[in-house]
Amino acid sequence: MALLAGAGSAPAYPLPPQTRIRLSVVQWNPARGDYARWDAVSGDYVVSANETILLPLIGTLETKGLDEAALATEIEARLKDKVGLVALPDARVEIADYPPFYVLGSVAQPGAFPFRPGIDALQAVAVAGGLYRAQGEAGASDEIGRLGDLRTMKDDILRMRGRLARLQAERAGAKDITFPAELTDGSGGPLADEIQAQERLIFTTRASGLERQLTTLDELKTLFAAEIDVLGQKGRALERALETMRRDLTNVERLVEQGVATAGRRSDLERAVSSLDAERLDQVTATMRARQSLNQATRDGLSLRDKRATDIASDLQSVQADIQRLQTRRDVVERLLLASALESRVGEAEGQAPTLRYIVVRKSADGTREIAADEATALQPGDVLKVDLVPPARGNGRGSGPVAQRAAPPREAPGARVEADLGGPTRPAPGRGTSAVAMSGTGGEASFTTGLPEARMAAGLAP
């Protein structure tokens, strides 16, 4: 008989393709008084696409419609007949891995997920990350996060503008930094003062560092020039001494020919001339080396200035790109907050919320079919769960009557938009600077306005 296959409270499922089962077969050995394991048959097997498994001794075994217990019973009967046993062996079938189930539609992370027995549609949605929320459907926590992001981006833009002003002053060789109005008009608060102080400190430190390096190079050039002058004077003195020594040698050679002076005297003069000549060549070499060092110091000064100019140009380009990127992100967040406020107020005016629709796509022996489901519907291995967000029907507010069309927000006049610079005034659209949405009611009209004043004030911005 089968050994507790599928025992427990977990539901039993038919074995669909891709299911990996673990088979264990044992037989009672009365002579030894214990169970003997059939290692030739025991092991892991995967159900094929045509719902069969291939087992040693048995061959191909069809699994269609069988669960673990039924499959174990079938294996026992096949082994008894195949081997010619008197009694049935004991077979145990366990599920090692179920095929995954799939979730798609209005969920945060659609895809394939490992199946576990007893999972229902609502749990599957939770495994898939919950419901997908569009830009205008963010919850309160998301709106708080966006307001924080908006504030952070405003501060980052102020810092970038301070850095941009400092780099522009460095490129122009100015003595001080000219900051933009948003940092000097008081709208930036203590942060603006802090940014100005930091950038002025960086400006002064960098200018002082460059000045020290250039001064050091100038002093080094002065030293090399003085060394060259001294070497020149010494060289000229050697030339005069060498000229005198050569005249003496000429006179001594004449006296040696006349027999008045000795040859030793001539040899001493020749050695003295050679020594002075070698010293003169050393002076020439030292002068050339000093000139080379002077030229190198001049090149170092030019390279220092060129590197500073290149670094400033590169930093300017990087800061300008960062400002553009932050402004784009800020505009997107402001529009998301505006859309979120609009959607939430429309939902409040309608008094209705969207509903979820669940559909299970399941393969069976008869083919693929779709099953209407709800949150408590149990899934099976290989199921595909489709989740759709069904918007509420817009009627007269009581669920009856003709469907009322939502009025689109009025178009902005040319040039009207959210203020490009955070902290500045918001440019109103035509009218009173608000967006109106009219809802059809029971003979009257419900209207409300929405915008970003609350959001901007919560973020510490100008209303």
Comparing C-alpha atoms, which of 126, 185, 191, 131 is closest to residue 158? 191
Rounded Cα distance between 227 and 287, Å, is 8
pLDDT digit string, tens, across residues 40-55: 888 999 998 888 999 8
Three-state secondary-structure class, residue 263? helix
The model's confidence at residue 202, banded by pLDDT at 50, 70 and 90, is very high
Q: Greater confidence, 75 or 262?
A: 75
Rounded Cα distance between 89 and 43, Å, is 16
Three-state secondary-structure class, residue 416? coil
Q: Which of 47, 81, 97 is the last residue of a domain?
A: 97
Query: What dihedral do alpha carbons 440, 444, 449, 454 form, nearest 10°?
Result: -100
The pLDDT of residue 393: 62
Does a structural domain hold residue 432?
no
Segment among 16-20, 105-109, 395-399 with least mean pLDDT: 395-399
pLDDT at 422 over 80: no
CB burial of residue 162 (10 Å; 0-12, 13-18, 19+): buried
> Residue 140: which residues within 8 A CB-CB, separation 6 or more?
none
pLDDT digit string, tens, across residues 166-183: 999 999 989 999 999 989
| Domain count across the chain | 3
| Whether residue 310 sits in one domain with residue 189 | yes
Segment among 11-15, 60-64, 66-70, 191-195 with least mean pLDDT: 11-15
pLDDT digit string, tens, across residues 109-162: 899 999 988 899 999 999 998 887 654 454 566 777 778 888 889 899 999 999
Comparing C-alpha atoms, which of 453, 409, 463 is closest to residue 431? 409
| Whether residue 252 sits in one domain with residue 307 | yes
Q: Which tokens in the block code for residue 134?
A: 């569009």
Question: What's 47's domain CATH number?
Answer: 3.30.1950.10
Question: What's 368's domain CATH number?
Answer: 3.10.560
Mean pLDDT value across the chain: 78
| Whether residue 366 sits in one domain with residue 308 | no
The pLDDT of residue 394: 57
pTM: 0.44
| Whether residue 145 sits in one domain with residue 271 | yes
Q: Are 282 and 295 in contact (CB under 8 A)?
A: no
The pLDDT of residue 348: 59
Bridge partners, 283 (sequence order): none
Does a structural domain hold residue 412?
no
The model's confidence at residue 106, banded by pLDDT at 50, 70 and 90, is confident
pLDDT digit string, tens, across residues 377-420: 999 888 999 998 887 665 544 443 333 333 344 444 333 333 33
Q: Which of 336, 370, 391 is the last residue of a domain?
A: 391
| Whether residue 342 sits in one domain with residue 358 | no
Does a structural domain hold residue 183?
yes
Per the structure, the complete domain to which residue 380 belongs is given by: 100-133+351-391
Q: Which tokens in the block code for residue 64?
A: 């269609």
The pLDDT of residue 402: 37
pLDDT at 7 over 50: no
Q: Which tokens in the block code for residue 87?
A: 């009694």
Q: Which of 360, 391, 422 is the last residue of a domain?
A: 391
| Whether residue 288 sits in one domain with residue 201 | yes
Segment among 192-196, 274-278, 349-353 with least mean pLDDT: 349-353
The pLDDT of residue 321: 93
Does a structural domain hold residue 112?
yes
| Whether residue 305 sits in one domain with residue 372 | no
Mean pLDDT of the 11-18 span: 78
| Whether residue 129 sits in one domain with residue 33 | no
Does a structural domain hold residue 447?
no
The pLDDT of residue 414: 36
Rounded Cα distance between 289 and 295, Å, is 10
Q: What are phi and psi of 74, to 5 degrees?
A: -65, -40
Q: Which tokens in the block code for residue 313?
A: 């140009």
Q: Greater confidence, 142 or 200?
A: 200
Matching residue, tokens 């300008």: 320
> Residue 106: which residues within 8 A CB-CB, separation 6 or more?
131, 132, 356, 387, 388, 389
pLDDT digit string, tens, across residues 238-282: 888 889 888 888 888 888 888 887 888 888 888 888 888 888 889
The pLDDT of residue 351: 56
Question: If residue 388 lies in a helix (H) or strand (E), which one and from where to where?
Answer: strand 384-390
Does a structural domain hold residue 254?
yes
| Whether residue 177 sits in one domain with residue 164 | yes
Rounded Cα distance between 55 and 351, Å, is 62
| Whether residue 212 sits in one domain with residue 223 | yes
| Whether residue 378 sits in one domain with residue 342 | no
Three-state secondary-structure class, residue 44? strand
The pLDDT of residue 350: 57
Does a structural domain hold residue 104?
yes
| Whether residue 338 sits in one domain with residue 357 | no
Does a structural domain hold residue 454?
no
Q: Quick count: other Cβ atoms within 10 Å of Cβ 44? A: 11
